[in-house]
Copies of this chain bind each other. A is one copy, B any other.
Amino acid sequence: MNQEYLKATPWSIIEEGFDKELVQSSESIFSLGNGAMGQRANFEETYTGETFQGSYIAGVYYPDKTRVGWWKNGYPEYFAKVLNAPNWIGINIWVNGEALDLNTCKEVNGYSRELNMKEGWYRRTFEAVLPNDRKIQVEAIRFLSLHLDEVGAIQYNVTAIDSDLEVKFQPYLDSGITNEDSNWDDKFWNTTNIDVHGNQGFIEAYTMKTQFKTCTFMQSQLLLNGEILKKEPKSTSKDLWVGHEYSQKISKGDTLSLQKFGGYTVERNHQGKNLVDISKEVLKKAEDLGFETLLDKQKQSWAEIWEMSDITIEGDVKAQQGIRFNIFQLNQTYLGRDSRLNIGPKGFTGEKYGGSTYWDTEAYCIPFYMATKNQQVARNLLKYRYNHLQKAIENAQKLGFTNGAALYPMVTMNGEECHNEWEITFEEIHRNGAIAFAIYNYYRFTGDYSYIPEMGLEVLIGIARFWHQRASFSEQKQKYVILGVTGPNEYENNVNNNWYTNYLAQWCINFTVEQLQRVHDGFEDDYRRIVGKTKLTDGEVAHWKKVADKMYFPYSEEKQVFLQQDGFLDKELITVKDLPSAQRPINQKWSWDRILRSPYIKQADVLQGFYFFEDHFSKEELKRHFDFYEPFTVHESSLSPCVHSIQAAKLNQMEQAYKFYLRTSRLDLDDYNKEVEEGLHITSMAGTWMSIVEGFGGMRVADDQLLFNPRIPEKWDSYSFKINFRGSVVKVSVKQKETEFSISGDDSITIRCNQKEVELKPGRDISVPH
């Protein structure tokens, strides 16, 4: 199943040998990003083989008109997608008049790619024999600067191997790009200005409809054997294209290099300014530093990120590489600096899912960012939803809800719903609960209550109002029911009383009521402001409580488990192990109706509830539910195995936990789902982190205290991770027989390990035997 064409090393991803079939997969794997922009690992030079071009600017999207077979009332008009942006990496190369194109070369030898995760750069080297029999050695190194996040840098070296050569570099910008994914072949970009002079070039373009103004820029210089050649390039420009041309005769053994700075400035970050002027300022900063210094700063920035977020694994290099790849990609995608941005399921590595925000952020990503960054980052992710509250209220209104009830969209860019499958868009409403849960989770972890009176409570009120209205009273059951939903298991649609949804709904109301009281008691001004704004009355809250108190939960007395939904036990309960492997994955082999009436679970559903609300249930209850639902779970979502891994670990089923972990950690590197060429599974990467930290490490926060319950897979010698907990950084090193704790910072803290209190003091390692 796995391609496994990549070399396992602890800090790098390495591909060796040129295989045209793997170009698109590698374009995903070797993607670069710096939070503000990102790009697939497309070649700089011309490539006429199969390629999937992608360069993306955070927050720059296009509302592509919805395409449906049959329109349903309430469908959104558009699907926002982050667009393939103008190309700034392009460098055409001719050798003695022959274009360099790996698709047409007579020979390509010693081809390799390296993604250096430790230092944050990407390098490609190869030796090529061109159709005209000229032989060159190429080394191209590229990075997207964390220090100057509007800038990327390339150094492209061509060495003449066995003869004198004439080498021509043509660095260019191109806004004549398209999206692979387009519903109606709309034109996405409008180019308004082409500017080229000296060794600089600029293309100003804005996105149609959304009118995001951008400037794509470049600046280049030539070096011979490392010495700058003061040479003015020849400028050319077309409608959607600007280029420079450098021609140079070099002798056998010489290396001619092109250094290119490029990137984007976006009006969003420079309101009212001329973007070409801004771009020139940005280029000046890059030029002043120079390529090498900028690269040094890149290494330094990544060292700082790793210092906090690295996980080491000894004794399993593939696992080590896998977890670092996950952490690296998460940091490439989102750094938490800007509360207008969020985390798309594919990050900057592809077009699928449109780069939009899903509940993945709240359920999977926030724990990672809370523990490995300062708390402002998670707060920014919460604020993102606060900023969208009004849109969530409007979204609920479109579906018939009133009185400020808020339904957050399933998929969104600017707060408006973008998805258009009724069973998801209208019915997968549990997403609303994940957003409330994240507010609770943030407070539980950081101890920062301030977010709730400032912003969170308004969000909670909107969500509580939604659940109150969405539940209806069943005369027959004399309980409140929630009909017609899709739970986290998207392999059941339009079911009644999905336990997870009902449980979340009840919890949301209760939590909101508690926070109302707490804000009332402790933050009088905020309370008054919020009640005034939301026109909340005690009577309304009493109505909510009635719904929460009388919520219905499907339960089987016989099996002693909560039922995933009302009809679950009517299904033919054949477990996954009795399902012929030829029928899997069922989402490729079965028609939708067959999937729906099967008992197979795409991703944790009841167990997702047990994950969120672990402390509401005993270990015995967890075991019963895990043993009941795990055998029906097909894990056909990348978000599935991590929850099962955490729970298996908790139940001390370490072999199983390790199996689930493996499935998630190298999902993309080993192309488990045979789709890596579409892009990487960014949000599920946070789940991998959780599998180690919460699963194996047993990290939890309760009563303002960090808890651990460390376990270690048999195969590993040791592993370590760090947790940024309320100003202290706790380092946890788990070995087969013991766990070592250390702490940095000035203060001591008390944690619990295996239920016992342990005091951690700066400068002193403490070892707790297992």
Q: What is the bound-complex CA distance between A596 and B592, given in angstroms?
A: 19
| Residues of B with C-beta under 8 A to A591 | 72-74, 398-400, 426
Tell me if A399 and B594 are in contact (CB < 8 A). yes
* Cβ of A481 under 8 Å from chain B: yes
| Residues of B with C-beta under 8 A to A69 | 66-69, 420-421
Tell me if A494 and B596 are in contact (CB < 8 A). yes
Instruction: Tell me the minimal C-beta distance from A213 to chain B in angstroms.
Output: 30
Tell me if B400 and A473 are in contact (CB < 8 A). no
* Cβ of A620 under 8 Å from chain B: no
Top 8 A-B pairs ranked by shortest CB distance? A74-B591, A426-B593, A484-B597, A483-B597, A72-B592, A68-B69, A474-B570, A476-B569
- Binary B-proximity of A568-595 (CB < 8 A = 1, otherwise 0): 0111110000000000000111111110
Contact of A593 among B399, B481, B566 (CB under 8 A): B399
Tell me if B496 and A567 are in contact (CB < 8 A). yes
**Listed residue (A427, A483, A495, A592) with the most chain B CB atoms within 10 angstroms of its CB:** A592
Instruction: Tell me the minimal C-beta distance from A505 to chain B in angstroms.
Output: 14
Q: What is the bound-complex CA distance between A134 and B400, given in angstroms?
A: 57
| Residues of B with C-beta under 8 A to A421 | 69-70
Tell me if A570 and B399 are in contact (CB < 8 A). no
Tell me if B494 and A494 are in contact (CB < 8 A). yes
Tell me if A593 and B476 are in contact (CB < 8 A). no
| Residues of B with C-beta under 8 A to A484 | 593, 596-597
| Residues of B with C-beta under 8 A to A73 | 587-592
* Cβ of A216 under 8 Å from chain B: no
| Residues of B with C-beta under 8 A to A427 | 593
| Residues of B with C-beta under 8 A to A477 | 570
Contact of A400 among B481, B587, B588, B594 (CB under 8 A): B594
| Residues of B with C-beta under 8 A to A566 | 566-567, 570
Tell me if B593 and A422 are in contact (CB < 8 A). yes
| Residues of B with C-beta under 8 A to A573 | 475
* Cβ of A103 under 8 Å from chain B: no
Given contacts A593-B426, A597-B484, contact A572 B472 (CB under 8 A): yes
| Residues of B with C-beta under 8 A to A493 | 494
15 contacts across the A-B interface (CB closer than 8 A): A69-B421, A73-B589, A74-B593, A399-B593, A423-B494, A476-B570, A477-B570, A483-B570, A483-B571, A484-B597, A494-B494, A494-B495, A496-B567, A566-B566, A566-B570
Chain B, Cβ-Cβ closest to A571: B483
- Binary B-proximity of A180-203 (CB < 8 A = 1, otherwise 0): 000000000000000000000000
| Residues of B with C-beta under 8 A to A569 | 474-476
| Residues of B with C-beta under 8 A to A593 | 74, 399, 422, 426-427, 484
Number of residues in A with C-beta < 8 Å to the partner?
Answer: 47
| Residues of B with C-beta under 8 A to A472 | 571-572, 597
- Binary B-proximity of A474-494 (CB < 8 A = 1, otherwise 0): 111100010110000000011
Q: What is the bound-complex CA distance between A68 and B66, given in angstroms?
A: 10
| Residues of B with C-beta under 8 A to A399 | 591, 593-594
Tell me if A400 and B571 are in contact (CB < 8 A). no
| Residues of B with C-beta under 8 A to A66 | 69
Q: What is the bound-complex CA distance between A697 and B592, given in angstroms?
A: 45
Chain B, Cβ-Cβ closest to A556: B476
Chain B, Cβ-Cβ closest to A483: B597
- Binary B-proximity of A418-449 (CB < 8 A = 1, otherwise 0): 00111100110000000000000000000000
Chain B, Cβ-Cβ closest to A589: B73
Q: What is the bound-complex CA distance between A515 and B400, given in angstroms?
A: 51
| Residues of B with C-beta under 8 A to A423 | 494
Instruction: Tell me the minimal C-beta distance from A109 to chain B in angstroms.
Output: 42
| Residues of B with C-beta under 8 A to A475 | 569, 573
Given contacts A72-B592, A73-B592, A593-B427, contact A570 B481 (CB under 8 A): yes
Instruction: Tell me the minimal C-beta distance from A576 to chain B in angstroms.
Output: 17
| Residues of B with C-beta under 8 A to A495 | 494
Chain B, Cβ-Cβ closest to A568: B476
Within 590-645 of A, Cβ neighbours of B (below 8 Å) are at: 590-594, 596-597
Contact of A68 among B68, B496, B590, B596 (CB under 8 A): B68
Q: What is the bound-complex CA distance between A589 and B400, given in angstroms?
A: 9
Contact of A74 among B422, B592, B597 (CB under 8 A): B592
Q: What is the bound-complex CA distance between A166 and B340, given in angstroms?
A: 72
- Binary B-proximity of A56-98 (CB < 8 A = 1, otherwise 0): 0000000000111110111000000000000000000000000
| Residues of B with C-beta under 8 A to A398 | 591
New A-B pairs, 4, CB < 8 Å, besides A70-B420, A73-B589, A422-B593: A73-B590, A426-B592, A472-B571, A475-B573
Chain B, Cβ-Cβ closest to A421: B70
Tell me if B420 and A567 are in contact (CB < 8 A). no
Chain B, Cβ-Cβ closest to A479: B570
Chain B, Cβ-Cβ closest to A495: B494
Chain B, Cβ-Cβ closest to A79: B69
Chain B, Cβ-Cβ closest to A591: B74
- Binary B-proximity of A151-187 (CB < 8 A = 1, otherwise 0): 0000000000000000000000000000000000000
Tell me if A570 and B422 are in contact (CB < 8 A). no
Tell me if B567 and A400 are in contact (CB < 8 A). no
Within 276-321 of A, Cβ neighbours of B (below 8 Å) are at: none
Tell me if A496 and B400 are in contact (CB < 8 A). no
Instruction: Tell me the minimal C-beta distance from A526 to chain B in angstroms.
Output: 34
Tell me if A496 and B422 are in contact (CB < 8 A). no
Tell me if A400 and B590 are in contact (CB < 8 A). yes
Q: What is the bound-complex CA distance between A570 and B588, given in angstroms?
A: 34
Instruction: Tell me the minimal C-beta distance from A407 to chain B in angstroms.
Output: 10
- Binary B-proximity of A10-37 (CB < 8 A = 1, otherwise 0): 0000000000000000000000000000
Chain B, Cβ-Cβ closest to A587: B73
| Residues of B with C-beta under 8 A to A567 | 483, 496, 566-567
Instruction: Tell me the minimal C-beta distance from A717 to chain B in angstroms.
Output: 44
- Binary B-proximity of A235-277 (CB < 8 A = 1, otherwise 0): 0000000000000000000000000000000000000000000
- Binary B-proximity of A658-676 (CB < 8 A = 1, otherwise 0): 0000000000000000000
**Listed residue (A67, A484, A572, A589) with the most chain B CB atoms within 10 angstroms of its CB:** A484
Tell me if B422 and A592 are in contact (CB < 8 A). yes
| Residues of B with C-beta under 8 A to A426 | 591-593
- Binary B-proximity of A504-546 (CB < 8 A = 1, otherwise 0): 0000000000000000000000000000000000000000000
Instruction: Tell me the minimal C-beta distance from A501 to chain B in angstroms.
Output: 13
Chain B, Cβ-Cβ closest to A420: B69
Q: What is the bound-complex CA distance between A477 and B493, given in angstroms?
A: 22
| Residues of B with C-beta under 8 A to A570 | 474, 476-477, 481, 483, 496, 566
Instruction: Tell me the minimal C-beta distance from A17 to chain B in angstroms.
Output: 35
